[in-house]
Amino acid sequence: MKVAVVGATGMVGHVMLQVLAERNFPITELIPVASARSVGKTVSYKGKDYTISSMEDAIAARPDIAIFSAGGATSLEFAPKFAAVGTTVVDNSSAWRMDPEKKLIVPEINASELEDTDKIIANPNCSTIQMVLALAPLHKKYKIKRLVISTYQSITGTGVKAVQQLENEYKGEQGEMAYPYPIHRNAIPACDVFTDNGYTKEEMKLVNETQKILGDKSIAVTATAVRIPVVGGHSEAINVQFENDFDLAEVRQILQAQEGVTVQDNPDTNTYPMPIYAEGKNDVFVGRLRRDFSQENTLNMWVVADNLRKGAATNAVQIAEYLAAKELV
């Protein structure tokens, strides 16, 4: 299996290589790809150094799979070029997610939709992935009517520049700013850019991607996405109104049975998900499960995951694993 990792020097690309190694993905030839200024440099994979290739050389090598984490513009330009030489692309940007011709995949939910003709496959947004993994089995059982979401998002979702900004501010040093305001000791209620309707792109991803992955446009979704000075992962307070009533004990059982979900929910021992413990792990952690007494058939939940792992790299690698296991590449 010849695998290209496009954006290998970025934060997600780095974690992508880690996850591929940890999960022993069957790579016979690794082709790390990055921008022109990184070509010729090296990245490490399983203790060995690999030279970074240019996009053109990687396409010429005709890899079986190319996992992209290099931004939307790069994906729009180069993913079709890889697909044209027979490579299956798993893309981590927002470029293809809402394209009606492209599948938007969280493997535990809808990998069975994939066919060998799917040459560009979209990896959902980080905040969407962790939420829908927890919601999918509940939707199946009780049917979701409406979601009200508040996110508390890690700065690693912005990238290395944001991590540097926080570190500088923590030390009281001046430096390049990833955000228009300080992030240390602050909360910025604007993830990504604002759209014409007053919501940010991040908030609209939670609306549109959720409906597409769960295959139900009737689900009403509203979201507020907030950036906080945390590095371990994204947290989400989710208010879920169902069509049908639920039993809280059964909700716990359903979530415990869901592959990729760990329930951490015991108020007596102060057990609940937190990003400091989610960091570096591949699961989605769910807790603070309680009935919303202000409205019928409504559940409150708290969902946390490492946004660089299940929110990005791990999900993409799981898609690649499915493709390999089902001989779709």
Distance CA 140, CA 124 (A): 20
Tokens of 15: 């974690």
C-beta neighbour count of 298 within 10 angstroms: 18
Catalytic option among 14, 139, 191, 234? 234
Kindly indicate the confidence band of residue 248, based on its pLDDT and cuts at 50, 70 and 90.
very high
Check the annotation: does 153 bind a ligand.
yes
User: In the numeric block, which tokens belong to residue 100?
Assistant: 């009606």
Q: Please tell me the number of Cα atoms within 13 Å of 175 on its side-chain side.
A: 18
State the pLDDT at residue 224: 98
Q: What is the pLDDT of residue 305?
A: 98
Single-letter residue type at 37: R
Predicted pLDDT at 6: 98
What pLDDT is attached to residue 207?
98
What is the pLDDT at residue 182?
A: 98
Give 116-170 pLDDT, tens digit per residue. 999 999 999 999 999 999 999 999 999 999 999 999 999 999 999 999 999 999 9
- Between the CA of residue 282 and those of 124, 133, 154, 231, 312, what are the distances in Å? 15, 12, 16, 15, 10
* pLDDT for residue 68: 97
pLDDT of residue 161: 96
- Ordered structural domains, the chain, with CATH: 2-123+312-326 (3.40.50.720), 127-154+187-305 (3.30.360.10)
What would the DSSP string read from start to end of 109-128? HHGGG--TT--EEEPPPHHH
Between CA 69 and CA 319 the distance in angstroms is 14
CA distance 289 to 272: 9
Q: Which residues pair with 284 in a beta bridge?
A: 261, 305
pLDDT digits (tens, 9 = 90+) for 29-87: 999 999 999 999 999 999 999 999 999 999 999 999 999 999 999 999 999 999 999 99
Average model confidence (pLDDT) for the chain?
97
* Residue 126 annotated to the active site: yes
Residue 54: predicted pLDDT: 96
User: What DSSP letter does each residue of 274-303 carry, written as one string?
Assistant: -HHHHTT--SEEEEEEEE-TTSTTEEEEEE
**Residue 15: what pLDDT?**
97
Asked whether 155 and 162 are in contact (CB, 8 A), the reply is yes
Answer whether 184's CB lies under 8 Å from 229's CB.
yes
pLDDT of residue 121: 98
Per-residue confidence (pLDDT) for residue 4, from 0 to 100: 98
Residue 18 banded pLDDT, cuts 50, 70, 90: very high
- Rounded to two decimals, the pTM is 0.97
What's the Cα-to-Cα distance from 230 to each of 254, 274, 275, rounded to whole Å? 30, 11, 8
Per-residue pLDDT band for 185 (boundaries 50, 70, 90) equals very high
254-296 confidence digits (pLDDT tens)? 999 999 999 999 999 999 999 999 999 999 999 999 999 999 9
Over residues 226-236, mean pLDDT = 97
Instruction: Give pLDDT, residue 144.
Output: 98
Q: How confident is the model at residue 319 (pLDDT cuts 50, 70, 90)?
A: very high
Q: Residue 307 annotated as binding?
A: yes
Query: Out of 14, 126, 139, 191, which one is annotated catalytic?
Result: 126
- 233 is annotated as contributing to ligand binding: no
Nearest-angstrom CA–CA distance, 275 and 60: 41
10 is annotated as contributing to ligand binding:
yes
What confidence score (pLDDT) does residue 95 get? 97
pLDDT of residue 188: 98
Calpha distance 87→80 (Å, rounded): 9
φ/ψ of 319, rounded to 5, equals: -65, -45
9 annotated among ligand-binding-site residues = yes
- Rounded to whole angstroms, how far apart are CA atoms 329 and 324? 6
